[in-house]
Amino acid sequence: MAEIAAERVAAMMRRERERFAGARPRSRALSEQAKAHLLAGAPLTWMREWQSPFTVFAAEACGAEVVDVDGHVYADFCLGDTGAMFGHSPPAFAERMRATLDGGVTHMLPTEDAVWLGAELARRFGLARWSLALTATDANRFACRFARQIAGRPKILVFDGCYHGTLGETLVDLDGNRMVRRAGSVGIVEDPDTTTRVVDFNDLDQLDRALTQGDVACVLAEPALTNCSMVQPDTGFHDGLREITRRHDVILIIDETHTISSGPAGYTGAQGLQPDMLTLGKPIAGGIPAAIYGFSEELAARAEGMMEASGDFSTGIGGTLSANALSLRAMRVMFESVITEAAYAHMFAMAQGLERGIADAIENLGVPWHVTRIGARVEYGFGPRPWRNAREVRAGRRRDLERLMHLYCLNRGVMVTPFHNMLLTSPATTPDQVAAHNAAFAAAVAELVGE
């Protein structure tokens, strides 16, 4: 198996940067203008993470296609980093949302859609009661705060390599056996030793030991890590996680924001998990800000009991625009008409096509890489076997290769999520788009190994 030389990657990168810049005069001009009044030259600093010499500016998007301001059309496998996982403005959604705008956007009153939504979420995800937020970050923040209050304990436990949004207490990593603040995170003042415990994913003994101290209110976990490359759970990991959290009387919160790629009820539904709470945001309102968090019957009764007893329902949790009429309608339309079994059947078939194409190129060209998939979410990694935890990801990561593969694909009309090698499929993704990705991927690898 061939290891890929850094010099070859660097030479290809120089050529791809020139090709990119030469073909996008309008994006280049807008990027220059943006520096004047947008922090770091972008409306969201993360948009600087694209591996191109400057950011592509989008003109419009439809289905699984993005068109940029220079007229380039991209097969979109980034899909707004999951925010558009069910396609850009699916027709059933766009039509009904246009009419909704005429009825007022936010009232500090529930609409009938809220009642429909609560019942649908209980049916779909199997948890009794639900509350709303605007982002997955906030859903996680609110779920953890309720959990701490209910459990009467100060800490949360997360897995090394996790990402659950911008909650300061989750932005930690393991350095050896020491918990450290995640590099690059800005302005967090709480000492993580007072808020957080962190253990390796797939290590149930470590988890058990960390919970023995009795100071952890909840475990906040993705069912598989999807934000530091992709790390699948070992067989039996989820049974162990559930058994250990129950034994220590610790609340288990499953964050399905990315693993909703597993099916209409997420990984929880697909694998029969039994969390005490569940959080989910990003694609469930077609890109309109909305998120949900659910409670088991028992936890809901305890949370409601606390509020009834104090007579105070403001809780310091919520947000003025949460559960506004627009996001309620958007979630209703999405769950009614778009996030369906039929949609997933197509998404899975397209993702299998990506997985096959990537695996074939890896095998045919003899590179020591792997590919893995959770439903409609595919990830390839520059190591011979799927990773088991974030330590392995860090040790095996090749940023230079990552950057090159992204830019190489972008230059050939294929968009991959900028943060790592993640590809998503939508109900609108076509076999031609899958073929375009696989051709670009195979061509890049062939050139890397000198074929």
Ligand X SMILES: Cc1ncc(COP(=O)(O)O)c(C=O)c1O
Residues contributing to the site for ligand X (CB under 6 A): 135-137, 140, 163-165, 222, 227, 255, 257-258, 281-282
Q: How far is the CB of 36 from ligand X (least distance, A)?
A: 26
Compare residues 257 and 322 and give the one whose CB is closer to ligand X: 257
Q: What are phi and psi of 4, to 5 degrees?
A: -105, 125
In 11-68, beta strands by DSSP E: 58-62, 65-68
Residue 136's CB: how many other CB atoms inside 10 A?
29
User: Which C-beta is closer to ligand X: that of 261 or that of 438?
Assistant: 261
Q: How far is the CB of 164 from ligand X (least distance, A)?
A: 5
The sign of the CA dihedral 72, 77, 82, 86 is positive
Least separation in angstroms between residue 363's CB and ligand X is 30
4 versus 280: smaller Cβ distance to ligand X: 280
- In the complex with ligand X, the residue whose CB is nearer, 422 or 440, is 422
Q: How far is the CB of 319 from ligand X (least distance, A)?
A: 12
* Reduced 3-state DSSP string for 109-145: CCCHHHHHHHHHHHHHHCCCEEEEECCHHHHHHHHHH
381 phi/psi in degrees, rounded to 5: -135, 150
Q: What's the CA gap between 86 and 102, in Å, rounded?
A: 24
Provide, rounded to whole angstroms, the least separation between the CB of residue 137 and ligand X.
Answer: 3
Nearer to ligand X, 164 or 437 (CB): 164
Instruction: Tell the smallest beta-carbon distance from residue 134 to ligand X (Å).
Output: 8
Nearer to ligand X, 97 or 224 (CB): 224
Measured CA to CA, the distance from residue 208 to residue 287 in angstroms comes to: 38
Cβ–Cβ < 8 Å for 327, 410: no
In this structure, the number of other CB atoms found within 10 A of the CB of residue 413 comes to 16
Residue 28 Cα distances to 37, 44, 60, 291, 294, angstroms: 16, 17, 17, 34, 44
A 10 A CB-CB count for 245 gives 23
By beta-carbon proximity to ligand X, the closer residue of 139 and 404 is 139
Nearer to ligand X, 252 or 436 (CB): 252
Structure tokens at 387: 């990773």
Q: Could you tell me the smallest distance in angstroms from the CB atom of residue 140 to ligand X? A: 6
Measured from the CB of residue 406, what is the shortest distance to ligand X in angstroms? 17
- The sheet with strand 73-76 has its strands ordered as 58-62, 65-68, 73-76, 414-415
